[in-house]
């Protein structure tokens, strides 16, 4: 990457159907402020939501991520009396920006310090499934080493549609992520002056806008204003 002249790296989770790849607002903010490591965050939906949260370890300490399995139940439910929100409310949704210079510096430190997250896993064995312990490291473990960091709040309904479970589960499935995409794009069409009709309930269908046509709903007015689209349908370039 250095040989190619790359200076900044945009990292994202492939299990998020609403990810904005190389978001110019996010990257532009971080570059303008000279940030070494940054993350997009959304407010935690409820105390026991299975997402890691950003915290500072000690007063003025480094910014780091505590996994949901590592956060005490009482702490997860604690309320910040000044804001009325959860004390630990900034969810890590695996949307990060790093400078290449920082990653080159931090790689050796991560390998040397060998700090791991402990996770219980069901492991196949000759005696059937058994509980084992897995030592894990993640890309966001780089944050405590960063000389400068930033958290960039985004709206959950616009940038977080996770796929973590198979269809048939009650949440975070391919079907639920698909609906979140359709709902967002339908709002884009309506905001651009279009109309949407549907034969089934709108909460279960919608319009999909090709990313070749629009990135975040921009430049749709000329195509959509005064037109009616029958859902489900796709708007292409």
pLDDT at position 227, please? Answer: 96
Q: Specify whether 94 is located in the same domain as 10.
A: yes
Task: Look at residue 189 and give its three-state secondary structure.
Answer: helix
Q: Is 71 exposed, middle or buried (CB count within 10 Å of its CB: 0-12, 13-18, 19+)?
A: middle
Last residue of a domain, one of 134, 158, 182: 158
**In a domain? residue 132:** yes
Same domain, 136 and 213: no
Q: For residues 234 and 237, give the distance between their C-alpha atoms in angstroms, rounded to a whole number.
A: 10
Same domain, 71 and 134: yes
In a domain, 228, yes or no: yes
Dihedral, 30, 35, 41, 43 alpha carbons, nearest 10: -110
Q: Is residue 165 part of a domain?
A: no
In-domain check, residue 24? yes
Residue 55 located in a structural domain: yes
Q: Are 195 and 227 in contact (CB under 8 A)?
A: yes
By residue count, the chain amounts to 237
Q: Please indicate, yes or no, whether residues 118 and 207 belong to a single structural domain of this protein.
A: no
138 with 47, same domain: the answer is yes
- Backbone CA torsion sign across 66, 68, 73, 74: positive
Residue 163 in domain? no
Chain mean position to CA 235: 25
Same structural domain, 87 and 203: no
Domain boundary among 113, 130, 158: 158
pTM as predicted: 0.87
Residues 192, 101 share a domain = no
Looking at residue 108, its pLDDT comes to 78
Domain encompassing residue 105: 2-158
String of DSSP letters for 149-212: EEEEE--HHHH--B--S-BTBSSS-HHHHHHHHHHHHHHHHHHTT-EEEESS-GGG--EEE-TT
What is the spatial distance between Cα 8 and Cα 98, in angstroms, rounded to a whole number? 6
- Based on the fold, state whether residues 146 and 181 are members of the same structural domain: no
- Which two structure tokens, joined as six digits, stand for 48? 């026991």
3-state class (DSSP) for residue 226:
coil
Asked if 118 contacts 6 with a C-beta cutoff of 8 angstroms, the reply is no
Looking at 158, 184, 215, the residue that finishes a domain is 158
Same domain, 123 and 50: yes
CATH code for the domain of 37: 3.90.550.10
Q: Indicate whether 101 and 136 sit together in one domain.
A: yes
CA dihedral 136, 18, 107, 99 (to 10 degrees): -160
User: H or E element: which one contains 224?
Assistant: helix 221-224
User: Is there a single domain that holds both residue 49 and residue 130?
Assistant: yes
- Is residue 120 one of the residues assigned to a domain? yes
Please report the beta strands in the chain, taking only residues with DSSP state E, as ranges in sequence order.
8-12, 37-43, 53-56, 63-66, 90-99, 117-125, 128-136, 149-153, 195-198, 207-209, 228-231, 233-235
In a domain, 164, yes or no: no
Q: How far apart are CA 129 and CA 124, in angstroms?
A: 5
* Averages of pLDDT over each 10 residues, the chain, 237 residues: 96 93 95 96 92 88 88 92 92 96 87 82 91 90 93 96 92 94 96 93 88 95 96 90
The total of structural domains in the chain comes to 2
Same domain as 66, residue 24:
yes
């Amino acid at each position: 990457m250095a040989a190619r002249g790359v200076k900044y790296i945009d990292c994202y989770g492939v299990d998020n159907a609403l990810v904005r790849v190389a978001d110019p607002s996010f990257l532009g903010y971080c570059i303008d402020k000279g940030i070494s490591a940054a993350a997009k965050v959304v407010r935690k939906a409820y105390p026991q939501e299975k997402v890691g949260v950003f915290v500072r370890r000690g007063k003025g300490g480094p910014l780091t991520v505590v996994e949901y399995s590592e956060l005490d139940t009482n702490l997860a439910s604690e309320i910040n009396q000044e804001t009325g929100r959860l004390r630990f409310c900034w969810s890590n949704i695996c949307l990060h920006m790093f400078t290449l210079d920082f990653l080159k510096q931090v790689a050796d430190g991560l390998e040397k310090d060998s700090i791991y997250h402990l996770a219980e896993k069901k492991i196949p064995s000759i005696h059937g499934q058994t509980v084992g312990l897995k030592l894990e490291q993640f890309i966001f473990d780089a944050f405590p080493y960063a000389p400068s960091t930033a958290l960039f709040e985004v709206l959950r309904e616009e940038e977080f549609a996770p796929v973590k479970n198979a269809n048939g589960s009650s949440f975070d499935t391919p079907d639920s992520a698909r609906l979140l995409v359709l709902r967002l794009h339908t709002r884009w069409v309506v905001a651009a002056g279009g109309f949407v009709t549907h034969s089934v309930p709108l909460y279960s269908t919608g319009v999909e806008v090709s990313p070749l046509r629009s990135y975040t709903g921009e430049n749709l007015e000329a195509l959509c204003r005064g037109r009616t689209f029958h859902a489900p349908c796709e708007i292409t370039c």
